[in-house]
Structure 1
Amino acid sequence: MWPRDWIRHSLPRTLRGKLLLVSLAVVVVPISLTGYLLEREGRQALVQEKSEKLFGLTRLLDAHLGPGFDPLLADMGVAANDRGAAIQALSARLTPFTDMIARANPGVGVGFYSRALNAIITYGPSRDYGATVGTSIPPEHPGWHVLESGKQAVESGRQVRGFILNAMLPIVRDGTVIGYIWANELSDDVERQAAAMDRAVLTVSLGGILLGLALTQVLARGVGRDIRQIIDGLLRMRNDLGDAIRPPPGEFGAIAVEVNAMARALLDARSLTENILHSIADGVIAVDRAGQVTALNPAAEAMIGVTATEVIGKPYESLFKPDARFSSPLLDTLKTGRPHVGVTLEFPGGKQTLHLTVSSSVLRNSHGDAIGAVVVLRDLTEQQRLRTQIMRADRLAALGELVAGLAHEVRNPLTSIRGFMQFLESSDDVAEWQRYAPLIVRQVDSLNRLVTELLEFGRPRPPAFSPVQLNDLIREVSLLAGRKSNARIALHLSPDLPLVEADGEAFKQVMLNLIINATQATSETGGISITTAAVTQDRGEAIVTVADEGEGIASENLDKVFDPFFSTKPNGTGLGLAMAHRIVDAHHGTITIVSTPRSGTTVTLRIPVLHSQSVES
């Protein structure tokens, strides 16, 4: 494990533990470091103070020595080359003063050392250290460094009388170091004072640390209590957003106030959403990623005939009939993520089959991850019933128009036949019979043609779909119809037009009616344009356009051109466009007419390429 990972895993998890750890960093460490520095600085100050004191004593001794050892010996009449006599004479002269200095400073030892005699001249207090007079310092003694360098020095360590703090001052006369003066103090005394100072620093440091930890503990406990109060409030809000958190004092109280405000806003938003779901007439059902129902609104309950408590937590398939073969858009969206919009289908509910329009989409959380799917159901049963009534009313209205048109078309030939027969009833002239008989036959043929077209319109056969190349069919029909008129027919046929599933013979009848109508409406100098094109979007369509340069159709007649027996031509039956509309509608296509009087008419057919594809549910 890397050190960084080890440190991260070793850190406390709770805020209280982190605060205690921080207190160690901001209280214990600074106080400990301060105590250590104070102890070190205090010890150095103590040593410095002792050193200054000891050097002060050495300077007193140096002043008392006067001009030096040799002048003293000369004054006492002792030969300097007589080492023993010189040592005794100098010791007798200087010892009283060194003893006085030693008595005035208990624990301090002072003395003189002669470089020329290489001997201790005096060491006070003499009662304790008088036996050292006349001895020489060993070669490793720091006094030799003072004699050689001529600089004062302070040394700690074992020397003549044990572990001491020794201040040594060189004796310089006429620029020559003739010896040195020392003043020392036992290290035990120094250590006792330093230990006392250390204890004081340690006591203050420990007190500061304990006080800091205690305050941190109190602070951490208060912070932990406030946080625990907020956490408990948040746990209660999981079940009831209206259960507000009681704000603690301070900044945590401000946090609690903001959390309560957010909870109220969320509660308002949830209430608004629930009110919308309860108010809308469309059914809404939501499922989780496993396909289990998580929510449904009252409209969905009423549609399907279940209650929320019965189905929440159960698979979405439980809403269907057990033996229903149903492809659900919601489950498809849940599986593929592809939404469905406005799909019309028969929903096999457990109690009844519903005619619905459904739209489904993926449900996502705040991070954009899929958490389920939702479907919106719109019941079309009532619309279908109203549509059926409207269609029935339309059929009755169409039947009325059909009967009226049929009566009008039948009455004219019958009136002519009745007139001819009344005239011939009183005539014995065979020539007159021969003259009017063909007229009567033509009127009967007209009635027969009308009845035939009417039967053909009223009893349409189902289309026989097969692959048809519309371009070839249009070429054949235009060639046939073009022989009956001098109008110019121009073909603009798309080479990319695919095969279309259509009833070829029925579609020939449609094209023949359209081209004949166009030639009849166009003068001999006019033109007719027939265009085909392919649309590849969605399910794919073939578009056929027949445009003429004829007299056009009045705007008030455009809505009637597909009605049976409506015709603006003197000899027209009005069944041609009605039959064309029926055939196109049987092909699941559309036929539209756009016309401008004295400028021409354009008829557009849109026919699906395929009819055998299954309708998605």
Structure 2
Amino acid sequence: MRLTTRLLLFVFLSVIVPMIGLSLFLKQEITDSILGEKRDKLFGLARQLDGALEGSFDDILAAEAALGLDREGKIAVLNARLRGITDFVASGNDGVGVGYYGKELDAVLTYGPSGQFQYMVGRSIFEGHQGYEVMATGKPMVQTGALVRGDILNCMWPISRNGTIIGYIWSNETLDRIGGQLDPIIRRMYLIDALIFFLIYASVALTMKGLLDRIMSIKKGIDVLFHMPNYHIPPVSGELSVIVSTINDLVDTTNIVKCYNKNILESVLNGVLAVSCSGTVTRANKAFFELFPGFDEVSIGGGYREAFPPDMAALIAKGLDGDGSDGTSPSGMAELLHGGKVIEAYANTMFDETGSRLGAVFIFRDITVMRRYEREIQEKDRAAALGQMALAVVHEVRNPMTSVKGFAQLLLRPDVDEEKRTKYLGLIDDELNRVNRLLNEMLLYGGRSRLEPRPSSILAVVCDSVDRNDWSGYAAKPCVKAASGGDYVADIDVFKVGQALDNILKNACEAVAAKGSGRVVALVKDLGGTVEGRGVDSGTGIPPDALPKLCVPMFSTKKSGNGFGLAISRKIMEAHGGGLFIDSVEGVYTAVSLVFQRECKPGEEGR
């Protein structure tokens, strides 16, 4: 089913069906209301006729000296006496029929307007007519259906004299006439429903057309990605641009990871061997064959027991049978003596995305020289530092992902209303943006980029940084100060230096905001052979024990910071052949200086 069809079906089910249900409910309510109004009116007319009847039917016959007449004679006398009353009441209520019914005579005595219904006088009601029940119980009743007059709404009022029911009065109106009043209302209601449906359909069609086109564009781009992993989906407008941007970023990241994996596997100094759960050798890198010259690529695709000697086969078997349940803990670690070398070997269990075991990766490392020289200690220190940084990164990523998981679970609850759903989706978006921002900063810090230096005014770059950013959310806006007539030109990459200045000035404004008040000043100085740009704030300052740790990734004095801002800024300055220097007194001020050489002498990153 196409997305357009699904959306229209969704609109139909979520809007039109409830609207139809509401319309049917309103129709019934309107019908009941009109019928109730009609019943009240008809009973009112019946009570009016009851009040107009003075005494009983026998009293009228006695007054007319007609008690001795036969049934037809009595009916004629009563009709002559009462016909004027019923005609008068009927004449004031168009379409209404009224009359008296005598219990003793079991006959219609009058039926007004008599011009239409005089022929009904003298007739008895049919067996099963509720008029008999009214006369038997003395309770008013309403009967709907085909009666003496036809298909009518008939209200019957008992005539009680001296505690005896002598007959009943009816007041009725045809259902066709009631329907004639009701039908225009119902038609207008259905017309409004149809108009609302058309407006909703048109709104959805017009609103969703552009969105669906963009979605289909993204879908086609994703289909192309399966055949061209390096393909970038063309940008789209609107909110979906974030999705396209994210997908393209993921493509770039995935390609980088693939490239890294390939380069790492082929260029790493350690030998790497991959073996499946079935015992098949699936991959080995160049370093492995260099470490074990007796083996070649013919071994790939065969069983490890046939390809390797017993000591290596036993090691591989132990690694495949080991726990390694976390996929990272090395198992089956051992040392091999091969060709006069001491080789350290260990295994890592491999799992797919579903948690199913794929096999194991074995790492072989020549540790002969490492045991003799101090380099082994240095490598361990470096590994420890990287491990700390990795833990910090995991901590920074885990917290927002835990929040995302929690809000996602809340969204699965059926009782979540639209307001909470929007709130949770906004919080999920904020947390994912936080992770994305951290990853982008890590990539920026760890990547290599070529400088594009050109003679530029440091003062102009500082002014641009102040003017370009929005400082309304901070307690202070930086002001720029520079001596007139100074030479502030240096060879710089304007974009990268702007990045560094943005970070330093924002840090200064945040420090002032944390203190509650203060100033931020951007100073530009001509120092002859160099140009200095300095950001000075009177904010919270930096503790003395934290100063040596600044510019180290994952260390920050801010609760929400990750340390990459200053680390990247220092890297940019070193790439220019300049430097970044920090001076601070806790609670008083902080000054961050960027020193530029007149002629760019790029460091290693900028080459």
Alignment TM-score, normalising by the size of structure 2: 0.48
Q: Higher Cα Rg: structure 1 or 2?
A: 1
Alignment TM-score, normalising by the size of structure 1: 0.47
Higher-RCO chain (CA-CA 8 Å, sequence separation at least 6): 1
